[in-house]
C-alpha cells in the first residue's frame, strides 16, 4: 500500500523542461514511478526522453491521465503552478520549490484544503515509498522497504536518520518530507493519520525542528488517536532565538518554538525523543527489537 | 527582514497612516538640525531592531536643538540588548491622551493573519495577555475574504474602545492591514497606537517584519537594508545566497540542508564543543559555492576547526570534494577541516579526498565521530 507515492501514482512534472525538473522526472521514472507527463507552457508536443510535454496540467490530466503533480518551478511561479494543478483536478500535489512568499501560500492553502486536495510542501523533498515509487528528490538508495513510516520537516536530516536506521537493518513504508516553510499543505498530524491508516506502516518516526507549534499539536494527536508506536527527533536545541535557521519556518519567536519545548511536549505524551539522529535511531531499534 | 521604526513608519505614511513628523539622524549634529527643523518639543529615539528601548534609556523627550544634541550624544552607541545604536529618529512630540496596542501577526498555526487590539497599550502585550486576557481582542482574517469593515468593528467592540472613538480608529486598522497584505509582512505591530488630545489617532511606533521570500516584489524595502549593522559574515553569506547564522563558539560548521546543519550544531554542543556558526550551503551546491561558504566560515577569527557535514541528495559528494579541494588550492586554510560525506556520490567524493591527501583534512565515517574529532581539534589549537 504505502502512502502518497504508490503503485497507482501517475505523475505529471510541472517544470519538466527545466534542469532540475528534467533531472528529477527521469530519476523518479528510473526508480519505477509512473511519470506520465510533463508541463511547460509553450512546449506542448515536445518530450523529455519519451515523457510527453503539455502546455497545461489540464491537458496532462485529459490526455495522459495524470493524478499527481510534482511542482519543480521557480518560486515566483510556484504558487500559481499549484493552483493550476488543483484547478485541473489533480488530487495530490508535491511542491519542491523553496522560497515561495508566505502570503502566496496562504491563498494556496485556503484554496486546496477545503477541496480535499493533498498538498505536500512546499520546500519539501517529496515522498518515497521504497521499492514502489518516488516523487521528488529523496535519494532512494539510502532507503529500503520496511515497516517504519518516517515524516520530517527537513530533507537531509531525513536522509541522515534513514541512513542510521538502514545501518541497523530497518526499512521504511513511506518517507514523507513535509517541508520547512511557515505554511505547508501537509502537517505532521496529516502524516500521522496517513501512517495510522496504512497497513504497511507498523512504527512511526517523526523528525521535527524549531519554529511554530506543529510538533506540540502532533503530540496531542498522538496521545488521542495514534495507536502505532512513535519515536521523535527534534533539531535545533542550540539555535539562538530570533534567527531564521535556513528554513523560513525554523525560527524561535520569543519563547515559542524551541526544541526543548517540543521535546517536553512529546515526552509528556509518552513519545521518546532523541537529542541527535544516532540516539533517535537507537530508540527505534530498542523498541522494534523488543 | 526586520525594519527600523522609521522605515516601518515610512511604509505607514505611504499607506495614509498618520505618524509624527520626523527625521533620521546619525550624529548629534544631525539630531540638532532635525530638532531645529521640526521646532518645539521633540522625541529622540534609538533605532535598533529590538524592544525595550525606553527602559534602556534609548528614548528621550527634549525641548529644542541643544537638548536634542545632548540626548543624541547619550543615545548613539548605546547598547540595547546587544544592539548598538547607530541611528536615531528625531520626531515632533505629540500630545497623547491614550495609548492603545494593535498588531497583525502571521499566525502559522491557523494559517491566517491574526489581529490583536487592546486599549492597554504602551506596555508589553504578552503581559496584557497574561494578566488581562479579557482586554486583548483577537480575531483571525480569512485570507480568501480579506479584511472587511466588520473585522475592525468586532475588534473595537471586544477591546472596549469607546463608541465615540471608533469612527476615527477604524480607517487606521484597515490601512495597517493594507500594509500587512500589500507589503508581504509577517508582522505589523503598533505599540502604542495613540489617541491624541484632538481625538485623532497616530502610530507612535512601528515594528514591521517583511517576508524575505517576497522582497523581490518590494525593491524599495530591499533598499532599506542596513548593511552597516549586518554581521560581516552574515552579509557575505546573503550575497552568496547561503544561509548563515553567527554563533559564539570556535567550531565552524558547514553542511547541506537546514535540518542537518541545525542537527550538526546540536551535536557539536552535545559532545562538549562550541559551535561558531550555522551555515547551510543548500541543495545542489556547486564546487564554487562550497569554496565561498568555506571562506565565509573561516573569515570568523574565532573558528579553530571546521566540520563539513554533507549528506548528499541533490548535492553530490564529488562536487563537495572538488569544491573543498579547490578552496584549499586558492586560499591558505588556517584551520583543520573534518569531513563527513554520505549519500549521493559519497564514495567518489571520499576517493577524491583520499587521492589529494591534504594534511588539513580528516575524513570521518559518522556524524557523531566527525563532531568529536572537530571538537578535539579545536581544543588542540586553543
For residue range A272-284, what is the model confidence (pLDDT) as tens digits?
999 999 999 999 9
Over chain A, what is the mean pLDDT? Answer: 94
Query: How buried is residue A286: exposed, middle or buried, by Cβ count under 10 Å (0-12/13-18/19+)?
Result: exposed
Evaluate the omega torsion of the peptide bond into residue B49 and state whether it is cis, within 30 degrees of 0.
no
Residues of A in contact with B314 (CB under 8 A): 20, 137
Nearest to B266 among A142, A235, A243 (CB): A235
Cross-chain Cβ contact A250/B213 below 8 Å? no
Q: What is the ipTM of this complex?
A: 0.89
**CA atoms lying within 13 Å on the CB side of residue A73:** 23
For residue range B200-258, what is the model confidence (pLDDT) as tens digits?
999 999 999 999 999 999 999 999 998 777 778 888 888 888 999 999 899 999 998 89
| B343-371 average pLDDT score | 91
Most confident among A164-168, A199-203, B346-350 (mean pLDDT): A199-203
Helix, coil or strand: residue A1? coil
Residues B350 and B380 sit within 8 Å (Cβ to Cβ)? no
Active site residues of A: 247
pLDDT at site B194? 97
Of the candidates B4, B30, B100, B101, the residue annotated as catalytic is B101
**What are the Cα distances from residue A110, in Å, to A106, A123, A185, B378?**
6, 18, 10, 50
Cell numbers describing residue B321: 570534494
For residue range B20-34, what is the model confidence (pLDDT) as tens digits?
999 999 999 999 999
> Mind telling me how many Å the CA of B284 is from chain A's nearest CA?
10
- Tell me the backbone φ, ψ of residue A36, rounded to 5 degrees: -100, -15
B147 as an active site residue: the answer is: no
Residues of A in contact with B243 (CB under 8 A): 244-246
Cell numbers describing residue B177: 492591514
Confidence class for position A1, pLDDT limits 50, 70, 90: low
Of B244, B288, B281, B249, the residue nearest B268 (C-alpha): B249
Of B26, B25, B28, B23, the residue nearest B68 (C-alpha): B28
Cβ neighbours of residue B89 closer than 8 Å, sequence gap 6 or more: B4, B5, B6, B9, B22, B23, B24, B25, B43, B44, B45, B47
pLDDT at site B382? 54
What gap in Å lies between CA A274 and CA A278, rounded to an integer?
A: 8
Q: For chain A, give me the number of helices (H) and strands (E)?
A: 9, 14
Cell numbers describing residue A6: 504508490
Nearest to A183 among B111, B268, B311 (CB): B111
Cross-chain Cβ contact B313/A250 below 8 Å? no
Residues B52 and B80 sit within 8 Å (Cβ to Cβ)? yes
What does the DSSP 8-state code read for residue A72? -
What does the DSSP 8-state code read for residue A280? H
Helix, coil or strand: residue A286? helix
Of A9, A67, A60, the residue nearest A33 (C-alpha): A9
For residue range A212-271, what is the model confidence (pLDDT) as tens digits?
889 999 999 999 999 999 999 999 999 988 888 877 777 777 667 899 999 999 999 999
Confidence class for position A290, pLDDT limits 50, 70, 90: very low
Nearest to B109 among A156, A212, A236 (CB): A212
Least confident of A7-11, A195-199, B360-364: B360-364
What gap in Å lies between CA A138 and CA A110, rounded to an integer?
A: 27
What gap in Å lies between CA A282 and CA A274, rounded to an integer?
A: 8
What gap in Å lies between CA A216 and CA A256, rounded to an integer?
A: 11
For residue range B76-86, what is the model confidence (pLDDT) as tens digits?
999 998 889 99
**What are the Cα distances from residue A132, in Å, to A10, A173, B116?**
12, 9, 48
What number of other Cβ atoms are within 10 A of residue A7's Cβ?
A: 12
pTM (predicted TM-score): 0.91
3-state secondary structure chain B: CECCHHHHHHHHHHCCCCCCCEEEECCHHHHHHHHHHHCCEEEEEECCCCCCCCCCCCEEEEECHHHHHHHHHHHCCCEECCEECCCEEEEECCCEEEEEEEEEEEECCCCEEEEEEECCCCCCHHHHHHHCHHHCEEEECCCCCCCCHHHHHHHHHHHCCCHHHHHHHHHHHHHHHHHHHHCCEEEEEEEEEEEECCCCEEECCCEEEECHHHHHHCHHHHCCCCCCCCCHHHHHHHHCCCEEEECCCCEEEEECCHHHHHHHHHHHHHCCCCECEEEECCCCCCHHHHHHHHHHHHCCCCCCEEEEEEEECCCCHHHHHHHHHHHHHHCCCCCCEEEEEEECCHHHHHHHHHHHCCCCEEECCCHHHHHHHHHHHHHHHC
What number of other Cβ atoms are within 10 A of residue B29's Cβ?
A: 12
Residues of B in contact with A159 (CB under 8 A): 260, 311-313, 342-343
Confidence class for position A149, pLDDT limits 50, 70, 90: very high
For residue range B308-356, what is the model confidence (pLDDT) as tens digits?
999 887 778 888 898 889 888 877 788 999 999 988 788 999 999 999 9
Cell numbers describing residue A286: 530498542
Give yes or no for residue A169 having a pLDDT over 50: yes
What number of other Cβ atoms are within 10 A of residue B104's Cβ?
A: 24
Confidence class for position B380, pLDDT limits 50, 70, 90: confident
Percentage of chain B exceeding pLDDT 70 = 99
Bridge partners, residue B98, by sequence? B195
Nearest to B265 among A75, A217, A238 (CB): A238
Residue that has been written with the C-alpha cell 564546487 in this structure: B287
Cell numbers describing residue B80: 540595547
Of the candidates B5, B10, B165, B189, the residue annotated as catalytic is B189
> Mind telling me how many Å the CA of A233 is from chain B's nearest CA?
10
What gap in Å lies between CA A58 and CA A66, rounded to an integer?
A: 9
Of B263, B372, B258, the residue nearest A279 (C-alpha): B263
What is the DSSP code string of A237-259? TTPPTT---SSTT---BTTBT-H
Cβ neighbours of residue A202 closer than 8 Å, sequence gap 6 or more: A147, A148, A173, A228
Of B218, B151, B113, the residue nearest A103 (C-alpha): B113
For residue range B88-127, what is the model confidence (pLDDT) as tens digits?
999 999 999 999 999 999 998 899 999 999 999 987 888 8
Residues B312 and B341 sit within 8 Å (Cβ to Cβ)? yes
For residue range A89-125, what is the model confidence (pLDDT) as tens digits?
999 999 999 999 999 999 999 999 999 999 999 999 9
Cell numbers describing residue B194: 495613540
pLDDT at site A209? 93
* Residue A248 at interface with chain B, using a CB cutoff of 8 Å: yes
Note the residue count of chain A.
290
Residues of B in contact with A157 (CB under 8 A): 257, 259-260, 262-263
Cβ neighbours of residue B268 closer than 8 Å, sequence gap 6 or more: A238, B249, B251, B253, B274, B275, B307, B371, B374, B375
Amino acid at each position: 500500500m504505502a502512502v502518497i507515492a504508490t503503485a497507482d501514482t501517475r505523475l505529471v512534472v510541472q517544470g519538466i523542461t527545466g534542469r532540475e525538473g528534467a533531472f528529477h522526472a527521469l530519476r523518479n521514472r528510473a526508480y519505477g514511478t509512473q511519470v506520465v507527463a510533463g508541463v511547460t507552457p509553450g512546449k506542448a508536443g515536445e518530450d523529455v526522453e519519451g515523457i510527453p510535454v503539455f502546455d497545461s496540467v489540464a491537458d496532462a490530466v485529459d490526455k495522459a491521465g495524470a493524478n499527481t503533480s510534482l511542482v519543480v518551478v521557480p518560486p515566483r511561479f510556484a504558487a500559481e503552478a499549484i493552483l493550476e494543478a488543483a484547478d485541473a483536478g489533480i488530487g495530490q500535489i508535491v511542491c519542491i520549490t523553496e522560497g515561495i512568499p508566505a502570503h502566496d501560500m496562504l491563498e494556496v492553502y485556503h484554496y486546496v484544503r477545503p477541496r480535499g486536495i493533498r498538498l505536500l510542501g512546499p520546500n519539501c523533498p517529496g515522498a518515497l515509498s521504497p521499492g514502489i515509487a518516488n516523487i521528488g528528490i529523496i535519494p532512494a538508495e539510502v532507503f529500503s522497504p520496511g515497516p517504519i513510516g518516517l515524516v520530517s520537516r527537513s530533507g537531509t536530516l531525513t536522509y541522515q536518520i534513514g541512513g542510521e536506521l538502514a545501518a541497523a537493518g530497518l526499512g521504511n513504508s513511506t518517507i514523507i518530507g513535509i517541508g520547512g516553510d511557515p505554511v505547508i499543505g501537509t502537517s505532521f498530524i496529516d502524516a500521522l493519520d496517513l501512517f495510522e491508516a496504512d497497513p504497511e506502516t507498523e512504527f512511526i518516526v517523526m523528525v521535527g525542528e524549531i519554529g511554530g507549534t506543529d510538533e506540540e499539536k502532533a503530540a496531542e494527536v498522538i496521545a488521542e488517536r495514534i495507536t502505532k508506536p512513535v519515536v521523535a527527533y527534534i533539531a535545533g536545541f542550540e539555535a539562538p532565538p530570533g534567527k531564521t535557521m535556513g528554513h523560513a519556518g525554523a525560527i524561535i519567536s520569543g519563547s515559542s518554538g524551541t526544541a526543548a519545548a517540543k521535546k517536553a511536549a512529546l515526552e509528556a505524551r509518552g513519545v521518546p525523543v532523541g537529542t541527535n539522529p544516532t540516539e533517535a535511531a537507537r530508540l527505534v531499534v530498542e523498541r522494534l527489537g523488543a | 527582514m526586520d525594519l527600523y521604526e522609521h522605515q516601518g513608519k515610512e511604509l505607514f505614511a505611504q499607506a495614509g497612516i498618520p505618524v509624527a513628523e520626523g527625521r533620521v539622524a546619525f550624529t548629534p549634529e544631525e539630531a540638532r538640525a532635525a530638532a531645529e527643523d521640526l521646532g518645539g518639543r521633540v522625541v529622540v529615539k534609538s533605532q535598533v531592531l529590538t524592544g525595550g528601548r525606553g527602559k534602556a534609556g534609548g528614548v528621550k523627550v527634549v525641548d529644542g536643538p541643544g537638548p536634542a544634541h545632548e540626548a543624541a550624544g547619550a543615545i548613539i552607541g548605546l547598547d540595547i540588548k546587544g544592539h548598538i545604536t547607530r541611528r536615531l529618529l528625531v520626531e515632533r512630540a505629540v500630545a497623547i491622551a491614550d495609548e492603545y496596542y494593535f498588531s497583525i501577526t502571521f499566525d502559522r498555526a491557523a494559517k491566517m493573519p491574526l489581529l490583536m487590539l487592546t486599549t492597554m497599550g504602551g506596555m508589553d502585550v504578552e503581559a496584557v495577555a497574561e494578566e488581562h486576557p479579557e482586554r486583548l481582542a483577537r480575531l483571525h482574517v480569512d485570507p480568501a475574504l480579506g479584511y472587511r469593515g466588520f473585522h475592525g468593528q468586532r475588534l473595537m467592540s471586544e477591546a472596549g474602545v469607546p463608541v465615540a472613538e471608533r469612527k476615527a480608529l477604524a480607517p487606521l486598522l484597515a490601512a495597517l492591514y493594507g500594509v500587512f497584505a500589500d507589503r508581504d509582512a509577517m508582522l505589523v505591530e503598533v505599540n502604542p497606537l495613540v489617541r491624541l488630545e484632538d481625538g485623532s489617532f497616530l502610530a507612535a511606533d512601528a515594528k514591521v517584519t517583511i517576508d524575505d521570500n517576497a522582497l523581490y516584489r518590494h525593491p524599495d524595502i530591499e533598499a532599506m537594508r542596513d548593511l552597516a549593522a549586518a554581521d560581516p559574515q552574515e552579509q557575505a553569506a546573503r550575497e552568496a545566497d547561503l544561509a548563515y547564522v553567527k554563533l559564539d563558539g570556535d567550531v565552524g560548521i558547514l553542511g547541506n540542508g537546514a535540518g542537518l546543519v541545525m542537527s550538526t550544531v546540536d551535536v557539536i554542543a552535545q559532545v562538549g564543543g562550541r559551535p561558531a556558526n550555522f551555515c547551510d550551503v543548500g541543495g545542489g551546491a556547486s564546487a564554487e559555492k562550497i569554496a565561498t561558504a568555506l571562506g565565509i566560515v573561516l573569515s570568523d577569527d574565532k573558528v579553530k576547526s571546521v566540520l563539513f557535514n554533507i549528506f548528499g541528495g541533490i548535492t553530490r559528494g564529488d562536487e563537495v570534494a572538488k569544491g573543498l579541494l579547490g578552496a584549499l588550492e586558492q586560499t591558505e586554510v588556517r584551520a583543520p577541516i573534518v569531513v563527513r560525506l554520505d549519500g549521493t556520490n559519497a564514495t567518489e567524493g571520499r576517493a577524491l579526498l583520499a587521492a589529494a591527501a591534504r594534511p588539513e583534512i580528516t575524513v570521518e565515517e559518522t556524524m557523531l565521530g566527525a563532531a568529536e574529532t572537530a571538537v578535539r581539534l579545536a581544543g588542540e589549537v586553543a
